[in-house]
Structure 1
Amino acid sequence: MPIVARHVLPHAPTGTAVGLFGGSFDPAHDGHAHVTRHALRAFALDRLWWLVSPGNPLKANGPAPMAQRVARAEALMSHPRVDVTTAEAQLGTRYTADTLRRLMQLYPGRRFVWIMGADNLAGFHHWENWRWIMETVPVAVIARPGQQRRALSSVAARAYADRRVLPIRAQQLASMQAPAWCYITIPMRDISSTQLRAAGGWG
C-alpha cells in the first residue's frame, strides 16, 4: 500500500464531521449533487468528500478514465464544503472498508459518516467486510426511487434494525457511536449514471 502525504488529500480540521460519498461517478450527474446538498444539511456535516473510485469491485466492466470522471464531477459539484477526490487511487485501496481504515489512520479525531443510496443498502451485505463498516462508522442512507422496500428489508437493515436512527435525530448521526444508521427521504431525482451511459451522452 503506498505511503500518502496528507497534503495531497482534502483538509479537515480535528473534530470535523466529514461525509464520505463513494462511487464510480460514471458519469457524475445532478442526482449526485442533489443527494450531496441534502446530506450536508440533513446530517449537519462540515465537509463532504466525493470518493471517485478507480473501479467498483462488484461491477464487471471498468468505468471511464479517472481524469474524465473527475473533471465532470468537479464541473458539476461546485460547493465550498465539497471536495471531489481521488483518495482511493492515492491510497491504493479497492474496497470501502480498506479506504475507511486508511482515512481513519490519516485523520484521527475526525468524525466520518459513510453516505450511500438506498439501492446500496439493499445489496450492502455483498460488500467486503460490510459488518465492520457498519460497526465502525455511522451510515447515512438516502432514499432512491423504487428502492425503499428492498433497502429496509435488506440483510443489513434487518441485522442492525435496533441501531437505526430516526430522521428527527439525523443531525446527531456524526457524533453517534457506530453501529448507527439513518434512512432519510428527500425530493426524488430519478436519474442514474447507467441511464446516461445508455443514452450515449457519456464515455
Structure 2
Amino acid sequence: MSIGLLGGSFDPAHQGHAHITGEALKRIGLDRVWWLVSPGNPLKARQPAPMAERMARARAVMDDPRVVVSDLEARLGTRFTAQTLRRLTALYPGVRFVWLMGADNLVQFDRWQDWEWIMRNVPIGVFARPGSRLAALGARAAEEYARFRLPGPSARLLPFRKAPAWCFLDVPMVDISSSAIRARGEWRAGA
C-alpha cells in the first residue's frame, strides 16, 4: 500500500489542501492520503486554533474515503516531521509512505529538524504553489538532491523508489492559504 502524508497545522484546512490531495492521489497513484493535523508548527510563533476545531474543519473540507484526517502526531507525542516519519516507518514497515508538501515548504525545508534524514528516507512529492515555483527549484534541498529528482510525468514511480527520491509536480494552482484566510477573519477559533 502507498500512503501520502500531508502534514501541517491545517489552521484552517481549505480547498488548496484538498486540491493538492486530489492531485497526489491521481498523479502519484497513491492508495490513501493521511492528513496529519499537527499540534503546532515549531517554525511558527502563533498558537493554532484548538485541535478539535481544526480536525472538524479538515473533515468538512476533505470528504473522500481515501483520505484520513488524523491527530496521529498528538497521539504519538511527536513534534517534528522526522520524528513522526521515524515512528510511522517503524510501525508500518510494509507501507510505502510519500511525504507531500507545497513548493513553499521546499523553499525553507533546510530549516526543518533532520531535513536531510527525511530526504534520505522518505520519497517526497512537491506541489507547485503560487509564487513559490522558482524559489522552490532553487532551494538548498532541491539543489543538493537534484540528481534524485524524478521528472513530473514519472510521479507514479515515486512510491516505489528508494529514497532519496523526489518529484516536483507542476499542477494547476489554487491561490489560497490558511494565513490569508485568517487575515481576512474568515476563520476564528470558536467561531
Give the alignment's TM-score, normalised by structure 2: 0.98
What is the alpha-carbon distance in structure 2 between the residues aligned to residue 142 and residue 157 of structure 1?
13
* SS across alignment from 2:121: coil
- 1:180 alignment counterpart: 165
- 1:164 alignment counterpart: 149
The C-alpha deviation readout for 1:63-96, integer Å capped at 9, x for no partner, is: 0000000000001101010000000000000000
Paired AA for residue 22 in structure 2: R
- 1:85 alignment counterpart: 70
Work out whether 1:52 is the aligned partner of 2:37: yes
Paired AA for residue 32 in structure 2: R
Write out aligned runs for 1:70-149 (5 A): 70-149=55-134
Work out whether 1:18 is the aligned partner of 2:18: no
Paired AA for residue 17 in structure 2: H
Report the CA distance between 1:131 and its aligned residue.
0.2
Paired AA for residue 37 in structure 2: V
Work out whether 1:30 is the aligned partner of 2:33: no
Task: Extract unaligned runs of 5+ from structure 1.
Answer: 1-15
The C-alpha deviation readout for 1:141-193, integer Å capped at 9, x for no partner, is: 00001101110000000000100000111001000010000001111110000
2:136 equivalent among 147, 151, 171 = 151
* SS across alignment from 1:105: helix
* Moved beyond 3 Å, runs of 4+: none
What is the alpha-carbon distance in structure 2 between the residues aligned to residue 136 and residue 93 of structure 1?
17
Task: Extract unaligned runs of 5+ from structure 2.
Answer: none
Report the CA distance between 1:17 and its aligned residue.
0.2
* SS across alignment from 1:103: helix
* SS across alignment from 1:135: helix
Give the length in aligned residue pairs.
188
What is the alpha-carbon distance in structure 2 between the residues aligned to residue 58 and residue 117 of structure 1?
16
Task: Give the root-mean-square deviation of aligned CA atoms.
Answer: 0.5
Work out whether 1:192 is the aligned partner of 2:177: yes
Paired AA for residue 146 in structure 1: G
What is the alpha-carbon distance in structure 2 between the residues aligned to residue 114 and residue 99 of structure 1?
11
Give the alignment's TM-score, normalised by structure 1: 0.92
